[in-house]
Amino acid sequence: MSKPSVSFEFFPPRTDHGRAQLIETAKELALLKPAFMTVTYGAGGSTKGWTMEAAQRIQQETGIPTAAHLTCVNTFKDGIHGMAHELWANGIRHIVALRGDIPPVDAPLNYADRNYYHFANELVAGLKTLHDFEISVAAYPEKHPDAPDMATDISNLKRKCDAGATRAITQFFFENETYFRFLDRAQAAGITTPIIPGVLPIANFEKMLGFAKTCGADVPGWLRTIFEETEDPYRAAQEALIMQVRGLAARGVPHIHFYTLNNADLVTAVCKAL
């Protein structure tokens, strides 16, 4: 079994204490020598400023290349370009480029307005004209919730890859075969960009169920049974994730991305088990 490289994603806390703790968590996980780390936005594209600041601080204080998430919905191109130039000037060379959440129906998007990037492939292409960024995009092994079917979703992924994406990172999943079937479909559609699996440590089972419902990830019955019957949820979470990442590694997956939920313990235990 080969040993895959790893990367870690963090989200922006709402409090000053949480933000300080995040930097310490990033320092702790940096000891595992990840290939890169990323910092996402808050809900609805909020916390853009702090996301940029956190990415810069984490990279400066850990020496690990760190990406900032950047979304395009309802943000003028000029504003996006300004953020991209600022990131580049501060040493950030990697962006996770996303469409972002569609606004409420009472504020519909005007797709004819060329002052905006409306889709992630447009954002990727625009960023590539500014600087030679490394760009990650999102992939959905169980289909994006907004896509009418998997074929449409894979076509959207291909457009992002053709626009210049360096890699795609999947939404989390719990059945490894779901990921490998998705790889086969992407390859059949002509996608050659690396698609790396994203995995989720289950620090809180009930919260995970909410995440899964939002993003359309299936929670298999065997996983529900494990957490319903266990008297030690932490150990159950650790064993479930170790089983998943070992299964991915055994199939030759070269890289695994962890959605850390800003918690070092589970991720550290699983990476050491690799």
Query: Catalytic residue numbers?
Result: 9
Tell me the residue type at 46.
S
Residue type at 273? A
Q: How many residues does the chain have?
A: 274
Residue 98, C-beta contacts closer than 8 angstroms, at least 6 positions apart = 69, 70, 71, 72, 120, 123, 137, 138
Torsion, CA 45, CA 46, CA 50, CA 53, rounded to 10: 20
Cβ contact 233:205 at 8 Å: yes
Residue 218 CA to residue 164 CA, distance in Å, equals 30
Q: Which region holds residue 113: left if phi is over 0, alpha if psi is between -120 and 50, else beta?
A: beta
Three-state SS string over 190-240 comes to: CCCCCEECEECCCCCHHHHHHHHHHHCCCCCHHHHHHHHHCCCHHHHHHHH
Q: How far apart are CA 74 and CA 69, in angstroms?
A: 15
Whose tokens are 């019957």? That residue is 229
**CA–CA distance, 245 with 193 (Å, rounded to integer):** 21
